[in-house]
Structure 1
Amino acid sequence: VKGDCDEDGRKENAVDHIKAKIFCNYDKDTPPVNEKDITDINLRFHPVEVELVDGSGYMRLITRMAMRWQDKRLSWDPLEYDGVDFITVKPDEIWTPDIMLQNWAEDWMPLNQIEVLYILHFSRIYIVLKPELKGRCVPDYNRWPFDEHTCHFTLKPEYLGNELNLKLDQKNNSSLVDLLPHPEWELLNATAIRKENTYGKWTEVSIILTFTVRRYSTILVIICVLPAFAYIILTCSVFWLHSTSAGIIVLFLTLSTQCLFLQFIGYKINSNGRIIPKIVKFYSYSIILSTIVFSLIVLMRSMMKWTAKPVWLQPLTNLLLTNRVTQVILLNDFDPKSVASILESGEDEGLSLVSSPAEGQQWHMFSEIINKITFFSIIVVYIYLFNHFIL
C-alpha cells in the first residue's frame, strides 16, 4: 500500500509538508532494507511488572520495550521545514517489524501495543511499546514457601529469514527503573541475551529475556511452617504423660490435625509434576512418626498390665537399670535414697540412681525405658527432618 503524493504542495504547517514528502509512494508493507538487505532492530527493555501466575504455568510480564531502526525512505532536511527535526505518526502508517513471543502461553500475537512512535529527520525511527506478555514456563515448588522460579521469554521475527536482525542495546538492555513492587513476588534477576540459530542459508535471531522471582514467604511461614513446631512438641510431649489416656488423646488429636493440615497445604501448593515439595514430605513423615508413636504408646499402655514374666525380662531390666546412660535417660525416676548414698560415699560404681522395680513391676519399668529412649530418638529424627525439608 503506497501513500498518496501531494501534487499542489498546499499544507497548513511544516509537519504536514514533511508527511506529504516522506509518504509519497511510500509502501508500508515493504521493509526498509539497507545495502546488506538486513534491517537492524535495536531493542531495550524496562520491566514494569513481573508475576508468576500460580496454577497457570506461565509468567506474566508487562514491560516497556524501546525499538529503533533506520528507514532511508523517511528522511528530510529540517532547514527546509522550519527546523522540524522529528514528527510523530500512527503505527499503521509506516512499516513496523513483526516480532513474536515464541513461548506464548495462549495465542501467538505480534507485539504491536505501541505507545509512542517518533520519526527523526535522519531516517531513524523510535517506538515504545508496553506489551503484556504471558510466557509459558514450568514452576518449581520443591522449596515452597521459599521457592524461586526462573522463566524465559523468547522473542523472534514472525517469519524465518535474513531480513531482520534483532540487536540489544549494549549500554542498557534491561533496566529495572520502571519496575513496580509486587505483593507476592520479589524480582531477583533480569537478563536479556541475543541468540543465533542457523538453518541452512537462513539465520534466525532471537532475544531471550530471563526473569528469576522469589516468593515473599513471611505470611506462609507463619501459616504453614510454625505449626510444624507445635506438632513436634505435641508429638514428643506424650512421652512424658506416662502412657495415660490423656497422652493417647493428645496424640490422636495431633495426628488428626496433621492430616487435615496436609490437605490444606495440598490446596495451597499447585501441581509440581513428579517432584514432591519438601514441606509436603516433612508433614508426610511427621504423620508417619505420629502414627508410630501412637501405636507404641498403645502398646506400652497394654504392656503395663501384662503379668507374664519371660526369662529375659528380669536380666534385661536389671542390665538397663545399672547402665549410667539409661539412668540419665530416666532422670525423673531417680531414687532420692540412692542419690544421697552416692553423694555421701563419693563412689558410684555398682550403685544405681534408679530404684529397682518391685515384684510385678518389671513390665512397667521396661515400658518406661522404651518410652524415654523413643523420645530422644524422635527428637533426633525431627531435627533431621526439619533441617532437611524446611530450612
Structure 2
Amino acid sequence: MFLVTLIFIALINYVNSDCIIDERTPNKIYMGKLFDLLNSTDAPCKDATVVALKFSVRNFYFDKSETLFNTFIWIIFSWEDPRFKWNPDNYDGIDSFLVPFFFIWSPLPILHHMREFNEMEFLNYESRYCKIQNTGRIMCATKGIYTTNCHSQLKNWPYDIQTCALKFHIRDGIKDNVTFTFNSTRGLYALGAEYGSGWNIIDFSAVENATGEVKISLRFVVERQALGVVISVVMPSITVAVLTLTSLILDIKDRDRLYLAIFSLIINVSLLSVMGELIPHQGHDTPSILYYINDSIVCLDLLLRVQCE
C-alpha cells in the first residue's frame, strides 16, 4: 500500500510539471528584459554629462531663534543617457518605465547643500524613482527639507527683510564629470509657497556656476509679517510718544503733567517687557525702535526730575 501511494504521488508531480501556468503577461516579460538591459550604475559617458535642474519651493520657515532658514523643496533632475534607448516596437510598445534611482547612474548622490547639516541627506529623499524614456531621456524627482544659516538683521524690526541662500556643492570624492544647469529656464519656482509662518517671500532667484565650488545657489528675500507686532508694539509706542510730547508742553505747575509723565513711563517700561519676548535674541544688531523708546524714557526721567524739584 505504501509503495502504491508513492507511485501515485510521483505520477501527479510528473503530470503537473508539464502543466505549469505562466501567469506573467507579455508586458511584464518585456519590462523584465528592458530592466536587465538598462541596469547600469556607471556614469553615462566619459565626456561631461549635462544635468538640467528645476527647484520648486513648497514651504519655508525659520526656527524659533530665527537663525536657521528651512525650505521644503522638490528638485527635478533630467539628463540624456545614450545607452538607454530602445525601439518600443520590439518591447510590446513600452516607451517608458520607472526604476529605483540606485539601480542606474543618477546625479542624486552627487549634489548636496551645505556640508555642516547632513552629509548623507540624499538617503533621506522621500521620492527615489526615476523615469526612463526610450529616447534616452531620464528624469528623477526628489523632495526634502534643506536648512541654511540665516541670522536676522534686526535694525528695522518689525519691518525687517532678510536674505537667505542655499548653496549646493559637488560631493567630495566624486569624479564623474557632471555639469548642472537650468537649461535656459529660471530654475527656481515658488508659486503658492510665498507665504510662510510669520514671513513672506518677496523675491527669489537661482544662479548656476559650472566652474566654481558652489554649483547652484538659491537666494530668497523674505519679509516679516509685521501686523501683529504693529498692533502690540508699534502703535502703542506712537501713542506713548504723543503723550510724552503732550506732557512736555503742559505747564510745569500743572499736576496733570506729572500724572501723564508717570503714566507714559509705565507704558514704556511695559513695552520693553513685551518686546523682550517678541524680538529674536540671536540678531546681530539692535532694533531702532528700542533706541526710540530709550530716548522717550530718558526724556520722561528728566521731566520728572524737573517736576519734583
Please report the TM-score for the alignment, with normalisation by the length of structure 1. Answer: 0.65
Q: 2:226 aligns with which of 207, 217, 226?
A: 217
Distance 2:217 2:239 in 1: 46
Partner of 1:268: 278
Partner of 2:236: 227
- Matched residue SS, 1:275: coil
Partner of 1:326: none
Partner of 1:102: 114
- Cα distance, 1:226 vs. partner? 0.6
Q: In structure 1, list runs of 5 or more residues that go unmatched.
A: 1-9, 199-203, 300-391
- Cα distance, 1:15 vs. partner? 5.0
Partner of 1:254: 264
Partner of 1:332: none
- Cα distance, 1:108 vs. partner? 3.1
- Matched residue SS, 1:102: coil
- Matched residue SS, 1:60: strand
Preserved CA contact (<8 Å) 1:140 1:272: no
AA partner of residue 176 (structure 1): A
Per-residue displacement from partner, 1:81-116 (whole Å, max 9, x unpaired)?
122111012233222221211165x33333433265
- Matched residue SS, 2:163: strand
- Cα distance, 1:121 vs. partner? 0.9
- Cα distance, 1:274 vs. partner? 4.3
Q: 1:87 aligns with which of 85, 97, 103?
A: 97
Q: 2:217 aligns with which of 208, 217, 220?
A: 208
Partner of 1:78: 88
Preserved CA contact (<8 Å) 2:186 2:206: no
Distance 2:234 2:273 in 1: 14
Per-residue displacement from partner, 1:190-223 (whole Å, max 9, x unpaired)?
111012445xxxxx45100000111121221111
Preserved CA contact (<8 Å) 1:101 1:109: no
- Cα distance, 1:11 vs. partner? 5.6
Could you say if the C-alpha distance between residues 121 and 246 of structure 1 is closer, same or farther in structure 2, counting changes exceeding 3 Å? same
Distance 1:103 1:243 in 2: 68
Partner of 2:148: 135
Could you say if the C-alpha distance between residues 86 and 180 of structure 1 is closer, same or farther in structure 2, counting changes exceeding 3 Å? farther
- Matched residue SS, 1:113: coil
1:182 aligns with 2:196: yes
Preserved CA contact (<8 Å) 1:66 1:129: yes
- Cα distance, 1:73 vs. partner? 3.4
RMSD value, Cα: 2.5
Kindly report structure 1 stretches of 4+ aligned residues shifted beyond 6 Å: none
AA partner of residue 219 (structure 2): T
Per-residue displacement from partner, 1:55-98 (whole Å, max 9, x unpaired)?
14111111221111223333321111122111012233222221
AA partner of residue 171 (structure 2): E
Q: Tell me which of the two structures has the higher relative contact order, counting C-alpha pairs closer than 8 angstroms and 6 or more residues apart.
A: 2
Q: 1:31 aligns with which of 33, 43, 59?
A: 43
Partner of 2:3: none
Q: 2:60 aligns with which of 43, 46, 50?
A: 50
Preserved CA contact (<8 Å) 2:153 2:162: yes
Preserved CA contact (<8 Å) 1:65 1:129: yes
Distance 2:38 2:131 in 1: 20
- Cα distance, 1:271 vs. partner? 2.8
Distance 2:72 2:86 in 1: 35
1:291 aligns with 2:301: yes
- Cα distance, 1:152 vs. partner? 0.3
Identity of aligned residues (%): 19
Distance 1:178 1:123 in 2: 33
Distance 2:26 2:163 in 1: 52
- Cα distance, 1:183 vs. partner? 4.6
Per-residue displacement from partner, 1:149-191 (whole Å, max 9, x unpaired)?
1100011221254522111132241223353633521111111
- Cα distance, 1:260 vs. partner? 2.6
Could you say if the C-alpha distance between residues 280 and 109 of structure 1 is closer, same or farther in structure 2, counting changes exceeding 3 Å? farther
Partner of 2:19: none
Could you say if the C-alpha distance between residues 83 and 61 of structure 1 is closer, same or farther in structure 2, counting changes exceeding 3 Å? same
Could you say if the C-alpha distance between residues 264 and 75 of structure 1 is closer, same or farther in structure 2, counting changes exceeding 3 Å? same
Could you say if the C-alpha distance between residues 158 and 76 of structure 1 is closer, same or farther in structure 2, counting changes exceeding 3 Å? same
Q: 1:173 aligns with which of 181, 184, 187?
A: 187
Partner of 1:280: 290
Partner of 2:20: none
Preserved CA contact (<8 Å) 1:45 1:64: yes
Distance 1:128 1:31 in 2: 19
- Matched residue SS, 2:92: coil
Distance 1:279 1:58 in 2: 24
AA partner of residue 173 (structure 1): G
Q: In structure 2, list runs of 5 or more residues that go unmatched.
A: 1-22
Partner of 2:208: 194
